[in-house]
Amino acid sequence: MKILVIEDEERVGALIRRGLEEQGYTVTLAWDGEAGLKLALGGGFDLIITDIVLPRINGLEVSRAIREAMPDIPVLMLTALGTTDDKVEGFDAGADDYLVKPFDLRELLVRIRALLKRNSGTVAPQQTVLKYADLEMNLQTKSVTRNGTDIHLTPKEFRLLEYMLHNKERVLSRTEIAENVWDTHFDTGTNFIDVYINYLRKKVDKAFEVKLIHTKPGMGFIFKAG
């Protein structure tokens, strides 16, 4: 497995490379966003790790460009920016996972294995269109409509809604959503899941009389009509 690491701190980059190479990965280092993006777009990598604060081009722009050109390659953001807003911005830029510095190398390895496993195990869905009440989601065109009205979602909002549709009329805890939508056991003490639920509510429910996304106090959320 070939991994590209875009990191401007030489000590951190060397630490990551040494740790990954000890696990059998082939690692290429880039010291700024411009060089990293050029390498990434050249292809040949199974996973990309990028900082956000980088010289020349920041990691958010790098992630957006990679996601547009290569939508299936996993991107992991590894950065000191750790607020909920920072994480939301990272995921909205196309990141698949987000790890805050300082980090434990063992946790980084777990995140990498999870992303690579998910990517290699991806299969075409048997069902390409999900429908519930007046909402329709097309998994091939990545489009969502409700009562014929187009709903524009970010990649993570789309994935969250897809998971809720697959598990409609069942209470989903914040931990379950974190593990299945983001493939990670991140700090559930943050209001991260609530932020994305609120984003979905504004787009999916606000303009419609019948609400689909409901909160179950102390338990989580449920997707059901009424």
Tens of pLDDT, residues 130-178: 999 999 999 888 899 999 999 999 888 998 999 999 899 999 998 888 8
CB-based contacts of 96: which residues, under 8 Å, 6+ apart? 74, 75, 76, 115, 183
- Angle formed by the axes of helices 33-41 and 59-69, nearest 10°: 10
Kindly state the average pLDDT of the residues 26-55: 94
**pLDDT-based confidence at residue 125 (cuts at 50, 70, 90):** very low
Domains defined for the chain, CATH in brackets: 2-120 (3.40.50.2300), 129-223 (1.10.10.10)
Question: At residue 197, does pLDDT exceed 50?
Answer: yes
The edge-to-edge listing of strands for the beta sheet with 97-100 is 26-30, 2-6, 47-50, 75-79, 97-100
| Peptide bond before residue 74 is cis, with ω within 30 degrees of 0 | no
Question: At residue 123, does pLDDT exceed 60?
Answer: no
**pTM here?**
0.67
Identify the bridge partners of residue 213 per DSSP, sorted by sequence position: 223
